[in-house]
Structure 1
């Protein structure tokens, strides 16, 4: 994005082990050079690469088994 693209900062929300939330509309450039565009007010971008509708999140990250923290020895 060029420096003169606008004065307002784009808001990005990191959700831990879920998607990356962006205030929309957004246009995403994919590795193959194509672009995906969403006009939604909030867009969830997949960061786990499990989504069937990548780059958009389809909540596939929720099906991943979570590791339990190691038991502490007293």
Structure 2
């Protein structure tokens, strides 16, 4: 089963190889063992991450917490 990891301040990390289906129908094949997919849209290599998110901070936290203080999915098994 493919594994996708959500990072707190960066890209989605997907265990590869993977095929990314872009909105225009283009298929991008990535043969790397781990593929970093940009979530901030600052990458010059979008949809792949080039670490542009490190140069500028984000305005809002990527995982909004609910009233309990846990992020969505936290503490669930």
Question: Is residue 38 from structure 1 mapped to residue 30 from structure 2 by the alignment?
Answer: yes
Aligned equivalent of 1:60, options 33, 38, 52: 52
Q: Map 1:1-74; keep pairs closer than 5 Å.
A: 9-65=1-57
TM-score of the two chains, using structure 1 as the length reference = 0.74
What's the Cα RMSD here? Answer: 1.2
Partners of 1:66 and 1:28 in 2: CA distance: 25
User: How many aligned positions are there?
Assistant: 59
Q: Which runs of 5+ in 1 are unaligned?
A: 1-8, 68-74
Q: Partner of 2:46: helix, strand, or coil?
A: coil
Rg larger in structure: 1
Partners of 2:22 and 2:43 in 1: CA distance: 14
TM-score of the two chains, using structure 2 as the length reference = 0.71
